Amino acid sequence: MRSLALADSSNTLTLADRPTAADFPPLPYGLTLDDAVAVRAHEVKAGDLVVAHFSDGTGVRPTEHVPEPFPADPHTVTACPCDGCEECDDMADWTLAEHSRVADVGWRHLCLAPAEDDEPCVIVLRNRPVAVIPADVVKRAGETAAEPAVRTYGVMWSADFEASSPQEAAQLAYTQLKSYATDGWPPELEVTDEAGCVSVIDLNATQQTEGNR
């Protein structure tokens, strides 16, 4: 549970922990609610990840977590690109019932994201507090997640030598290893990953393949 502050208010908002039910998957890219900030709906920027809403009113405002957090695409209700979702149809019926409400919709409401995958548009009051993860934070997390994972590998090289003692065998091995740097003939290496899976890598064959590309 976290306390968030709005820039234009002295009141704090309590962001409850995200539910762990099956219909509330973890946030993408390893993001957490620690990355979230509170803003008014009209302050949400394109690409911000909307993770929760807060109920209207004063005092304690319960957190309404978004089951599937979405990247914001804020725009006016009148400029909504959807083909007529349930939310937009309800809004249209509301304005048709009283023409003066058309202007009311323009200055009181906005759409945070257009309808998609059978989900209606997300239409909210402009001043409604929402919790978002800023677009730049989401972008950095996505780039980090796309980077190849760094793992620990054990690399071994083995060869048989005829020698009169372990010390002599080690010296012969050392001499042979040094020769790989001068004659350009690398050894086969046995590589073991963290799961214990063993791969034998023929570096000479790899170099030949790369040279033929």
Rg from Cα positions in the chain: 30
CA distances from 66 to 163, 166, 177 (A): 71, 66, 59
Q: Is the separation of the CB atoms in 14 and 60 below 8 Å?
A: yes
Give the list of residues 6+ apart from residue 35 with CB closer than 8 angstroms, or none. 133, 134, 137, 141
| pLDDT tens digits in sequence order for the chain, 213 residues long | 888 888 888 778 889 999 989 899 999 999 999 999 999 999 999 999 999 998 766 656 778 999 999 999 999 887 788 877 888 888 777 776 676 666 666 668 889 998 887 788 898 989 899 999 999 999 999 998 888 878 888 888 888 889 899 899 889 888 888 888 777 677 788 889 888 899 888 877 654 444 443
CA distances from 131 to 33, 36, 121, 169 (A): 9, 6, 18, 66
What is residue 17's predicted lDDT score, i.e. its pLDDT? 93
